[in-house]
């Protein structure tokens, strides 16, 4: 009976056999070679198909350049917040969408020039012998390759395949996308170089840039990409401050076309310089615009005053009018000028205060100095507001941090509040000065009333004209000063090294990385496979497995047979396999001797399940007994699945079953074999009750009679793991051999064997490891030199028919021998 303990796993089964795993891994060396071959082929194919990646860079300096014409009289203040702050601003600007839109639009980098390479299409910008000049106001076919083939030096053919009657197109004037009608099928048309192409989906002029004529017969491709997508690809430009100089910036790009990157870097710096200079001149520009608007009003006022003065002087003696009252006239003119200056300052401050309270864009504020305000607090704070406001507007396309905007707003608000306080204080002082000037004017006008009325009228008009003329002249001077400042300003950005293709710059593809990856994958994939097989395969692998799982002795290791039939010892008596059976015979004789057995000896051979080589072992053990001239008989007691008779080519019509049921005598069921001293009793017809027949007294009688005739009786029994027949025969056998097979017998079956031995169901049991391969599926180190028989080592050389090594190792061994022989000669 099988009880629950039969299925208990031993503790040793849980331990990891690292040595066994390593040897098993080495046994699958062909898997690793194949995996590496595939992986390295893949890596090579990937590497040769990848486009080369280059890096191009340029270096610029960011340093605030002072204006050589900047004086106290031209107090136009510019403040970027220091060099470090300016560098960070420029880095943000370089990555901004608005800046890169300007660069992409100027270079028209949404137009791609391609040529078919060996494996894929390559970018030939800068080396293509032509350029297309598109009409940005007309649609251009979107994201579709337009083939251009030059048929001669002055004409080319355009080929475009269309699958539908409509296609997408880009309108680069407003960066929009639209659908246009196209002819379904393949569009083919010839055009002259330099002539305008006007189609619903294409509008360009193709001009030749290389006049050598090398383009004739060649094919190129042009495609138009999404504008925003191209801009986004360049927003990743690298802009890193130099570690040795905080004001030095290194700009770099990576890509497949060096000419394209060189043009982009140089253009982006040039546009950056123009943008920065425009921002730097913003203060002066605002001042000039304010002066221009004021001067236009003053010109009209002066014209009217001049006309009024001419009209009044007509038919009058101007010389007589001018005589007398000169001193009072000069005094009034000076006071009028002083009053006007104060009023303009007050008006400017009032407008500035109102503007600060109502507006949020302070980039268009004019300089306070234009109206004569020299208060450094007001001048500097207005300059700061203009700078911060300009920078904030530039950053809205590149910075997504709400905190940064919040910080800017807080700083702007703080400066605005301080400026409003400054304005309030300045207006208070100016109102006081205005009251003083008004008092002086009233006193002077009282004196004026003492002169004749005609002279009073003339002097009033003259005062008005002189005041307007003086103001106009002052503003004209201010405008000239502002223009000088603006013209003399230089950008704070300058090239140290402009971008240039000087050769080299190759940074990819990283072919070594792919090969390292192939090396790793080529190793890890088969390793994982072996690892999986190692854990999934719960079968006996070697003698160590047997030793770990049981204390039952292992008396022999049998290799794989190399014959078609199971008569391996008879057919190849000098083989290593035959020697392993002879070693088992010697061990069995020792076991019989230890039991003090005299006369005939009985050997029962069984296994766990079918297919483990039980019958193979029975035949060959019986054969080695017979070859030693011992009368031997093999009894086929696997009554359920008989197959012993096949190898001896005898009939199974009569056998042990016939004797056990009393139909035949022993002599009638014994059959002679071709092997001297070896007889066989086949199983006979399949009975309905095999277990009962084996348990019958007739079985005991048959064995007793066989012992009187033979020296050795080998019982070929059914597997004990499937049926209980062999357990019934165990008491009748002197020794039981339990056959396990490499890579076939499950380790759990050894646990079942242990339990059967402990319960006494099997006695005098020994184990035979069958089907062992010393170099297949488990590697070297577990050959037949376990202690029983001969191995494939140096000690067995020349003793066996099949002791020559096979496979790749044999080839290596022969090669070494050949080299040694050559050296000796």
Give the model's pLDDT for residue 793. Answer: 41
Answer whether residue 396 shows pLDDT above 70.
no
pLDDT digits (tens, 9 = 90+) for 106-137: 999 999 999 998 888 999 999 999 999 999 99
404: confidence class by pLDDT, cuts 50, 70, 90 = low
Q: Give which of 84, 486, 99 is closest to 269, Cα–Cα.
A: 99
Query: Is-contact 753 614, C-beta < 8 A?
Result: no
Q: Stretch 353-379: mean pLDDT, rounded?
A: 76
Query: Is-contact 367 286, C-beta < 8 A?
Result: yes
Q: Output the CA torsion 180→184→188→191 (10° steps).
A: -20
DSSP 60: E
Question: SS3 breakdown of the chain: % helix, strand, coil, rounded to 5?
Answer: 50, 20, 30
Q: Give the other-Cβ count within 10 Å of 732's Cβ.
A: 16
Give the three-state DSSP class for 59: strand
DSSP string, 567-618: -HHHH-TTSHHHHHHHHHHHHHHHHHHHTT--S-EEEEEEESSTTSSHHHHH
Give the three-state DSSP class for 443: helix
pLDDT digits (tens, 9 = 90+) for 632-641: 999 988 888 8
Q: Is the peptide bond before 577 cis (omega within 30 degrees of 0)?
A: no
Structure-block tokens of residue 330: 């000069």
Q: Stretch 64-79: mean pLDDT, rounded?
A: 47
Residues in Cβ contact with 225 at an 8 Å cutoff, skipping those fewer than 6 apart: 110, 111, 112, 143
Structure-block tokens of residue 161: 């395949």
Structure-block tokens of residue 146: 């337009």
pLDDT digits (tens, 9 = 90+) for 557-575: 998 888 888 888 888 888 8
**What is the pTM assigned to this prediction?**
0.56
Q: What is the mean pLDDT of the chain?
A: 80
pLDDT digits (tens, 9 = 90+) for 778-805: 433 333 333 333 333 433 444 455 555 5
Answer whether residue 816 shows pLDDT above 50.
yes
Q: Output the CA torsion 497→503→507→508 (10° steps).
A: 140
- CA–CA gap between residue 778 and residue 25 (Å, rounded): 8
In 691-821 the beta strands, taken as DSSP E runs, fall at 712-716, 735-741, 765-772
Q: Give which of 25, 49, 27, 45 is closest to 37, Cα–Cα.
A: 45
5: confidence class by pLDDT, cuts 50, 70, 90 = very low
Give the model's pLDDT for residue 752. Answer: 85
Give me the domains of the chain, ranges plus CATH numbers: 4-50+510-536 (no CATH), 72-280 (no CATH), 282-488 (no CATH), 543-824 (3.40.50.300)
319: confidence class by pLDDT, cuts 50, 70, 90 = low
DSSP string, 129-170: SEEEEE-TTS-EEBS--EEEEEEETTEEEEEEEESSSEEEEE
- CA–CA gap between residue 204 and residue 134 (Å, rounded): 4
Give the three-state DSSP class for 769: strand
- CA–CA gap between residue 810 and residue 825 (Å, rounded): 23
> Using alpha carbons only, what angle is made at residue 473 by residues 469 and 475, rounded to the nearest 5 degrees?
120
Place of tokens 């097979």: 741
Give the model's pLDDT for residue 25. Answer: 78
pLDDT digits (tens, 9 = 90+) for 271-294: 988 887 777 776 677 777 777 777
447: confidence class by pLDDT, cuts 50, 70, 90 = low
Measured in degrees and rounded to the nearest 5, phi and psi for residue 134 equal -90, 160
Q: Give the strands of the sheet with 196-199, arranged side by side.
A: 130-134, 202-208, 196-199
Give the model's pLDDT for residue 73. Answer: 43
Higher pLDDT, 731 or 162: 162
Give the model's pLDDT for residue 302. Answer: 73
Measured in degrees and rounded to the nearest 5, phi and psi for residue 55 equal -125, 130
Answer whether residue 624 shows pLDDT above 90.
yes
Q: Stretch 571-583: mean pLDDT, rounded?
A: 88
Answer whether residue 79 shows pLDDT above 50.
no
């Amino acid at each position: 009976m099988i009880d629950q303990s039969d299925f208990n796993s031993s503790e040793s089964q849980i331990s990891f056999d690292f040595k066994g795993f390593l040897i098993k891994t080495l046994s699958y060396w062909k898997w690793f070679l194949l995996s590496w071959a595939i992986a390295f082929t893949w890596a090579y194919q990937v590497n040769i198909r990848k486009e080369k990646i280059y890096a191009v860079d340029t270096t610029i300096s960011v340093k605030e350049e002072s204006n050589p014409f900047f004086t106290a009289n031209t107090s136009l203040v510019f403040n970027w917040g220091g060099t470090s702050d300016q560098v960070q601003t420029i880095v943000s600007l370089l990555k901004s969408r608005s800046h890169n839109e300007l660069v992409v639009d100027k270079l028209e980098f949404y137009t791609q020039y391609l040529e078919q390479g060996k494996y894929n299409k390559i970018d030939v910008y800068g080396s293509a012998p032509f350029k297309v000049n598109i009409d940005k106001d007309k649609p251009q076919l979107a994201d579709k390759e337009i083939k251009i083939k030059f048929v001669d030096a002055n004409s080319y053919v355009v080929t475009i395949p269309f699958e539908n009657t409509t296609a997408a197109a880009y309108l680069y004037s407003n960066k929009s996308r639209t659908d246009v009608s196209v002819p379904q099928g393949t569009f083919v048309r010839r055009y002259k170089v330099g002539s305008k192409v006007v189609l619903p989906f294409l509008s360009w002029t193709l001009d030749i840039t290389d006049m050598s004529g090398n383009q004739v017969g060649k094919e190129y491709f042009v495609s138009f990409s999404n504008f925003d997508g191209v801009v986004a690809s360049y927003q990743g430009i690298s802009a890193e401050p130099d570690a040795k100089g905080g004001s030095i910036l290194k700009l770099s790009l990576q890509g497949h076309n060096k000419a394209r990157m060189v043009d982009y870097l140089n253009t982006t710096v040039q546009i950056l310089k123009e943008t920065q200079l425009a921002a730097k001149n913003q203060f002066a520009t605002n001042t000039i615009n304010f002066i221009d608007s004021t001067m236009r009003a003053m010109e009209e006022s002066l014209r009217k005053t001049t006309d009024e003065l001419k009209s009044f002087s007509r038919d009058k003696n101007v010389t007589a009018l001018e005589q007398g009252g000169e001193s009072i006239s000069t005094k009034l003119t000076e006071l009028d000028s002083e009053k006007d200056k104060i009023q303009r300052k007050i008006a400017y401050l009032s407008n500035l205060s109102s503007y600060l309270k109502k507006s949020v864009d302070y980039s268009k504020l004019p300089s306070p100095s234009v109206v004569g305000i020299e208060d450094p607090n007001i001048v500097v704070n207005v300059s700061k507001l203009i700078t911060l406001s300009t920078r904030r507007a530039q950053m809205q396309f590149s910075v997504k941090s709400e905190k940064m905007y919040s910080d800017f707003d807080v700083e702007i608000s703080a400066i605005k509040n301080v400026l409003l306080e400054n304005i309030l204080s300045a207006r208070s002082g100016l109102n006081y000065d205005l009251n003083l000037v008004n008092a002086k004017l009233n006193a002077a006008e009282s004196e004026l009333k003492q002169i004749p009325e005609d002279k009073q009228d003339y002097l009033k008009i003259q005062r008005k004209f002189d005041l307007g003329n003086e103001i106009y002249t002052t503003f004209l001077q201010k405008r000239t000063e502002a223009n000088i400042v603006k013209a003399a300003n230089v950008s704070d950005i300058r090239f140290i090294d402009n971008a240039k293709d000087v050769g080299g710059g190759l940074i990819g593809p990283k072919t070594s990385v792919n090969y390292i990856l192939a090396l790793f994958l080529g190793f890890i994939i088969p390793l994982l496979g072996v690892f999986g097989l190692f854990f999934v395969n719960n079968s006996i692998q070697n003698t160590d497995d047997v030793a770990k799982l049981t204390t039952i002795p292992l008396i022999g290791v049998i290799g794989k047979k190399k014959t078609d039939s199971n008569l391996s010892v008879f057919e190849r008596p000098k083989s290593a396999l035959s020697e392993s059976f002879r070693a088992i015979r010697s061990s069995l004789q020792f076991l019989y001797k230890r039991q003090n057995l005299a006369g005939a000896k009985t050997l029962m051979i069984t296994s766990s399940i079918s297919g483990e080589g039980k019958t193979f072992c029975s035949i060959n053990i019986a054969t080695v007994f017979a070859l030693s001239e011992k009368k031997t008989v093999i009894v086929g007691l696997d009554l359920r699945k008989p197959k012993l008779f096949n190898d001896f080519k005898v009939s199974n019509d009569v056998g042990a079953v016939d004797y056990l049921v009393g139909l035949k005598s022993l002599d009638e069921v014994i059959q002679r074999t071709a092997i001297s001293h070896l007889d066989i009793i086949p199983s006979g017809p399949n009975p309905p009750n095999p277990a009962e027949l084996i348990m019958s007294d007739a079985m005991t009688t048959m064995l007793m009679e066989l012992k009187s005739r033979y020296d050795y009786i080998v019982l070929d029994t059914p597997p004990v793991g499937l049926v209980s027949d062999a357990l019934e025969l165990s008491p009748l056998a002197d020794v039981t051999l339990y056959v396990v097979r490499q890579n076939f017998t499950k380790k759990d079956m050894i646990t079942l064997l242990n339990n059967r031995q402990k319960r006494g169901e099997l006695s005098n049991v020994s184990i035979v490891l069958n089907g062992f391969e010393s170099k297949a599926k488990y590697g070297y180190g577990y050959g037949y030199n376990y202690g029983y028989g001969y191995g494939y080592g140096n000690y067995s050389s020349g003793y066996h028919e099949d002791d020559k090594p096979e496979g790749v190792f044999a080839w290596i061994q022969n090669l070494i021998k050949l080299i040694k022989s050559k050296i000796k000669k």
